[in-house]
Amino acid sequence: MSNSYSLANCAKKRVSYFYDHDVGNFNYGPGHYMKPKRMHMVHNMVVNYGLYKKLDIVKPTRCSAFQMTRFHSDEYVNFLQTVTPDNLETLALQHGGLEQGIARFNVGEDCPVFEGLFEFCSISAGGSIGAANKLLNGEADIAINWSGGLHHAKKTEASGFCYVNDIVLGILELLRYHQRVLYVDIDVHHGDGVEEAFYTTDRVMTCSFHKFGEFFPGTGDIKDTGLGKGKRYAVNVPLRDGIDDETYKSVFQPVIQHIMDWYRPGAVVLQCGGDSLSGDRLGCFNLSMRGHASCVEFIKSFNIPMMMVGGGGYTIRNVARTWTFETGLAVGEDLTEQELPYNNYFEYYGPEFKLDVPSNNMTNHNTRDYLDRIIARIIDNLRTLPFAPSVQAQEVPKDFNPDDYIEGEDSEAEEADIRRTQRQKLESMGVL
């Protein structure tokens, strides 16, 4: 497919890579799907492949509580800052009773209170804010924060293993300079927290490719396109089980091409959730490592300042493989041409010991007719928008206020994602 918005794609990219060794030491608790250790695994391979020589490696400045309140409510941030496993019940009682208090901020089974929770959030969010600033200052063409991508977190509550929405905070930084920012999400789960944050503005277009139906978080219908000024600036691509590389590419590329040609963003944020990979513990897609990475390559080809963040991914050996490979792509290296180097987690990659995540033989339930109808509807929505790319962008005020725009263990056996939405939990408790 022709890439009408790109320039010559031969220039070497300057890539900043944000990493804090402490982030991989946190633990959500025994048996929890989310394993921050995967960040150690990625970094270990980045070092042993020699990629560090081509990266500007940055230890992020940790995000302060005040910075978090650019998006999150003061009350919620204060809760995150003060809560510990030991005082959780006491704090919850101060917010309407034990069950209601815990439900208010949606902490519990999916989003447990673990030791060092606020510090973990500070590192994740600090990386995305720092990545945005590297792009804004012209110090990088691509900025990577694999500890970010926590796209489910809401303004006043945790959700889906996510507590602080580093993506929203990073985009708010980008909006200080860029008139328009594009957010693209290839996690198997809908990027609901980011979409909700920017649902009423045309300053950010969100585009999420995800499993839709009886699947967490239960949002992301193709009919959900935004409200008010943001009408039709939310793009949802609802997909079915078993989508493979070629089928995914046949949807991803035309949708992104039309968005790029029409919306002309000044920067793009790509959430690279690894749970869309084949064999993920909570996923139901059938993407290979190369199929997943082809999305990175396609976005990179537009030569727009790009932030890459992590996200989901619960078969951690495959997440580490893929994010390492995609770090290589960012600096122009195809790592599959090299042997898997010995590293601290080498035994995780057996028995094949290769940098590869193959597709399997699962059934693809995405018919050509279904996908063509999705593409046609999305393109039709874009064509009906009044905005024209040739309109001169207005300067973004330095005192830009987000409130002006925002309303409203190591077992890797596959299991169905049975997480419930916050509304479902409250309904079961009789709160709603």
User: Does any domain span residue 349?
Assistant: yes
Confidence of residue 290 (pLDDT cuts 50, 70, 90): very high
pLDDT in tens, 253-266: 999 999 999 999 99
Confidence of residue 145 (pLDDT cuts 50, 70, 90): very high
User: Does any domain span residue 306?
Assistant: yes
pLDDT at 30 over 70: yes
Confidence of residue 405 (pLDDT cuts 50, 70, 90): very low
**Main-chain phi, psi angles of 182, to 5 degrees:** -105, 135
pLDDT at 99: 72
Cβ neighbours of 370 (radius 10 Å):
14
Quick check: 170 and 131 in contact, CB under 8 A?
Answer: yes
86 annotated binding-site participant: no
Question: b vs e for 97-126, b when ≥16 Cβ sit within 10 Å of the residue's Cβ?
Answer: eeeebbbbbbbeebbbbbeebbebbbbbbb
CATH number at residue 199: 3.40.800.20
* Mean predicted lDDT score pLDDT of the chain: 90
User: Does any domain span residue 2?
Assistant: no
pLDDT at 251 over 90: yes
292 annotated binding-site participant: no
- Number of independent structural domains in the chain: 1
The domain in which residue 245 lies consists of 15-389
pLDDT at 57: 99
pLDDT at 149 over 50: yes
pLDDT in tens, 61-71: 999 999 999 99
Edge to edge, the sheet with strand 56-58 lists: 56-58, 15-18, 142-145, 306-309, 267-271, 181-185, 204-211, 234-239
pLDDT at 168: 99
DSSP3 helix / strand / coil % (the chain, rounded to 5): 40, 10, 50
User: Does any domain span residue 41?
Assistant: yes
What is the average per-residue pLDDT within 209-233? 97
User: Does any domain span residue 139?
Assistant: yes
Query: What's the Cα-to-Cα distance from 65 to each of 62, 102, 187, rounded to whole Å?
Result: 10, 20, 27
Query: What's the Cα-to-Cα distance from 59 to each of 62, 89, 269, 305, rounded to whole Å?
Result: 9, 34, 20, 20
Of 258, 227, 245, 214, give the one whose Cα is nearest residue 374.
Answer: 258
pLDDT in tens, 89-105: 888 787 766 677 678 89
pLDDT at 391: 39
Q: Please tell me whether residue 234 adopts helix, strand or coil conformation.
A: strand
pLDDT at 429 over 80: no
pLDDT at 395 over 80: no
pLDDT at 403 over 60: no
User: Does any domain span residue 63?
Assistant: yes
95 annotated binding-site participant: no
pLDDT at 415 over 70: no
| Prior bond of 351 cis (ω within 30°) | yes
Poorest-pLDDT segment among 17-31, 96-110, 119-133, 230-244:
96-110
**Main-chain phi, psi angles of 267, to 5 degrees:** -155, 155
Confidence of residue 401 (pLDDT cuts 50, 70, 90): very low
342 annotated binding-site participant: no
Residues 6+ apart with CB under 8 A from 69: 77
What is the average per-residue pLDDT within 208-229? 97
Confidence of residue 232 (pLDDT cuts 50, 70, 90): very high
What is the average per-residue pLDDT within 385-405? 44
pLDDT at 252 over 50: yes
213 annotated binding-site participant: no
What is the average per-residue pLDDT within 223-244? 98
* Residue recorded with tokens 């290769």: 354
User: Does any domain span residue 182?
Assistant: yes
152 is catalytic: yes
pLDDT at 96: 67
Calpha distance 204→172 (Å, rounded):
10
What is the average per-residue pLDDT within 14-32? 98
pLDDT at 355 over 90: yes
Query: Which is the catalytic residue, given 72, 152, 190, 210?
Result: 152
User: Does any domain span residue 309?
Assistant: yes
314 annotated binding-site participant: yes
pTM: 0.89
